[in-house]
Amino acid sequence: MSGAAFAEAPGDPKAASSKDGEYYDSQGSPTYHIGADGKVDFYTYIGYVRYAANCLQCHGPDGLGSSYAPSLVDSLKGINYPEFLQIVATGKRDVSASQTLVMPAFGENKNVVCYIDAIYVYLRARSTGALGRERPAQHEAKPSGYTEAEDKCMG
């Protein structure tokens, strides 16, 4: 997928609805919720944890990029949720005169796929400036169905 044009930016990240501890924007895409006290929703927190375990090696601390892979904080300003899912699942290859960047496909990696919404939510919060570089200090409690859904996905 080289040089692909993206259809639309992610839109307003404001939470319009929630279900079982997950928040969604007006388009139905996963989004974050950060309280006035700085407490983040559980999925934003887990997104931070899973990003650190699976994405940091290439995309650098806090999604800011590295010499090996681009900043996801910047990338998420211009791609929407379905596009993010497609890139993570199928990979991406960007070739220019100065470099070749290749992101492998993670569509069958359960350590990524089972947490893809949480990773997206974390990166979305980072890309809008709503969440700083540090580990979220406080988070909402784990939703009651979270462990069951995680176990089901992980098999």
In a domain, 6, yes or no: no
Q: The tokens of 133 are what?
A: 């570089």
Number of domains in the chain: 1
CA pair distance 122, 62, nearest whole angstrom: 9
pLDDT-derived band at 2, boundaries 50, 70, 90: very low
Sequence-distant (6+) residues with CB within 8 A of 70 are 59, 101
How high is the pLDDT of residue 23? 97
H-helix segments, 16-137: 42-54, 56-59, 72-75, 81-90, 110-113, 116-127
Task: Report the CATH number that the domain containing residue 147 is assigned in CATH.
Answer: 1.10.760.10
pLDDT-derived band at 8, boundaries 50, 70, 90: low
pLDDT at 6 > cutoff 80: no
> Rounded to the nearest 10 degrees, how much is the dihedral formed by the CA atoms of 143, 38, 13, 147?
-20
Domain that holds residue 78: 17-154
pLDDT at 141 > cutoff 80: yes
Residue of 60, 75, 34, 50 whose CA lies nearest to 133: 60
CA pair distance 51, 53, nearest whole angstrom: 5
pTM of the model: 0.90
Segment (H or E) for 151: helix 146-154
How high is the pLDDT of residue 66? 87
Q: Which residues pair with 17 in a beta bridge?
A: 24
Is 43 within 8 Å of 117 (Cβ atoms)? yes
Residue of 101, 68, 102, 106 whose CA lies nearest to 85: 106
**pLDDT per residue as tens digits for the range 44-100:** 999 999 999 999 999 998 899 988 888 999 999 999 999 999 999 999 988 777 777
How high is the pLDDT of residue 35? 95
pLDDT at 3 > cutoff 70: no
In a domain, 12, yes or no: no
**pLDDT per residue as tens digits for the range 34-44:** 999 999 999 99
pLDDT at 7 > cutoff 70: no
Average model confidence (pLDDT) across the chain: 91
